[in-house]
Amino acid sequence: MSTYNRQLRLAHRPVGAAKETDWNLVEEPLPTPGEGEFVVKILQLSIDPAMRGWMDAAPSYIPPVEIGAVMRAFATGRVMESHHPHYATGDLVTGEFGVQEYALSTGAGVYRIDPRVDVPLSAYLGVLGLTGITAYFGLLDVGGFQPGQTVVVSGAAGAVGSTVGQIVKARGGRAIGIAGGEQKCRYLVERLGFDAAIDYKSESVRKSLRRHAPDGVDVFFDNVGGPILDDVLTRLARHARVVICGAVSQYNTEVGPQGPKNYLSLLVSRARMEGFVVFDYAPRYPEAIADMSIWLADGKITNLVDIERGSIIDFPKTLARLFNGANTGKQILDIGSEDPDDV
């Protein structure tokens, strides 16, 4: 085990897209666990679009990362040293550990990974982690999806979006994805079983929806906001549900998010639009994980991950991949795989 811990601490609140100089690389002595604490060696970092929002001072559903604090990140890791009654050296865990090599934890918000379950570690940041849980409750609970209904999902080749489409297919619905680029769209249809995919970079979303959803859209699961949200609002079926999961197209704007122009479609369609935060479902996480585990084991859903290997220094450029559409599936930065026993 190393004797020091490298961390990325927030240096500036970005204007527009985050840049490398918005974080400082800091080296500290390795933390020593006190009574009721343990030290985790971080193996894989979850890279999330929300990280951009956490860098802003504006109040949100979670407090901002303070200037000088370790950048917030969810991660998986292995317990290296423990003075905690419920965590032993060698345990695999997942939690909010930050962009650093080692984290000191009291166990708050930490979940233990069962090593007997035969799934890759990355699944605990992907389909069996917050990604899958977000897709599950957003679609089934907020979206009220029922078998036979037509679901449109934006950001469809991304982590949450690709999971939403796969759950729709596993539960007997019609899935239409919206994603950037022909390659991603082909992947959605040919590999993930989507019924159709619309390349928003080369075709009109509004026109293509007329073709793919002639009877309207029952659930729109929106990850991106902006013009795509406006286009889908024009195709809502009666009593449709628009699920506001996120708005990645708006996170880097310097002028603030632009609202939808076509919101009166909600009135005409007797539809509703509702946002949600996955953390509110914490007491029900086991429900989602149980169902997702079965679908994963049955081959009905895939753990679609996009893993960059490197060190925490690679964090800024890995985060940027989400905003330029470089990722397909859950973006992960693996900083621990030099020890093959870890994963």
Ligand X SMILES: NC(=O)c1ccc[n+]([C@@H]2O[C@H](COP(=O)([O-])OP(=O)(O)OC[C@H]3O[C@@H](n4cnc5c(N)ncnc54)[C@H](OP(=O)(O)O)[C@@H]3O)[C@@H](O)[C@H]2O)c1
CA distance 105 to 265: 48
Task: Quickly tell me which residue has 């901002």 as its tokens.
Answer: 64
* Nearest distance in Å: CB 65, ligand X: 15
The four Cα atoms 330, 139, 253, 315 give a dihedral, to 10 degrees, of: -20
* Nearest distance in Å: CB 195, ligand X: 18
Binders in 211-270 for ligand X, by CB under 6 A = 223-224, 226, 228, 245-249
* Nearest distance in Å: CB 227, ligand X: 8
Q: Which is nearer to ligand X, 103 or 156 (CB)?
A: 156
Which pair of tokens denotes residue 214? 């002639």
Decide: is 327 part of the binding site for ligand X (CB under 6 A).
yes
Number of residues that bind ligand X (CB under 6 A): 31
Contact (Cβ atoms closer than 8 angstroms) between residue 153 and residue 223? yes
Q: Which stretches of the chain are assigned E, i.e. beta strand?
A: 4-10, 23-29, 38-46, 74-82, 92-96, 102-105, 111-113, 150-154, 174-179, 196-199, 217-222, 236-244, 272-275, 305-309, 330-334
Q: Which is nearer to ligand X, 33 or 53 (CB)?
A: 53
- Mark the segment that binds ligand X (CB under 6 A) among 8-16, 91-99, 176-184, 233-241: 176-184
* Nearest distance in Å: CB 3, ligand X: 34
Among 50, 79, 168, 188, binds ligand X (CB under 6 A): 50
CA distance 243 to 7: 35
* DSSP string of 194-248, one letter each residue: -SEEEETTTS-HHHHHHHH-TT-EEEEEESS-HHHHHHHHTTEEEEEEEEE---G
Q: Which is nearer to ligand X, 38 or 221 (CB)?
A: 221
User: Residue 265: which region, alpha, beta or left (left: phi > 0; alpha: psi -120 to 50)?
Assistant: alpha
Q: Which is nearer to ligand X, 263 or 323 (CB)?
A: 323
* Nearest distance in Å: CB 38, ligand X: 27
* Nearest distance in Å: CB 274, ligand X: 11
Contact (Cβ atoms closer than 8 angstroms) between residue 176 and residue 195? yes
Q: Which is nearer to ligand X, 2 or 60 (CB)?
A: 60
Burial-class residue 227 by CB neighbours within 10 Å (0-12, 13-18, 19+): middle
Q: Which is nearer to ligand X, 40 or 198 (CB)?
A: 198
What number of helices (H) and strands (E) belong to the chain?
9, 15
- Mark the segment that binds ligand X (CB under 6 A) among 36-44, 153-161, 190-198, 258-266: 153-161
Binders in 110-149 for ligand X, by CB under 6 A = 134
CA 39 → CA 34, 149, 193, 244, distances in Å?
Answer: 10, 47, 42, 36
* Nearest distance in Å: CB 82, ligand X: 30
Which pair of tokens denotes residue 337? 């795989």
Q: Which is nearer to ligand X, 82 or 134 (CB)?
A: 134
Decide: is 277 part of the binding site for ligand X (CB under 6 A).
yes
Among 65, 196, 322, 335, binds ligand X (CB under 6 A): 322
* Nearest distance in Å: CB 158, ligand X: 2
Binders in 75-114 for ligand X, by CB under 6 A = none
Contact (Cβ atoms closer than 8 angstroms) between residue 109 and residue 285? no
* Nearest distance in Å: CB 162, ligand X: 8
Which positions touch ligand X (CB under 6 A)? 48-50, 134, 155, 157-161, 179-181, 184, 223-224, 226, 228, 245-249, 276-278, 322-323, 325, 327, 331
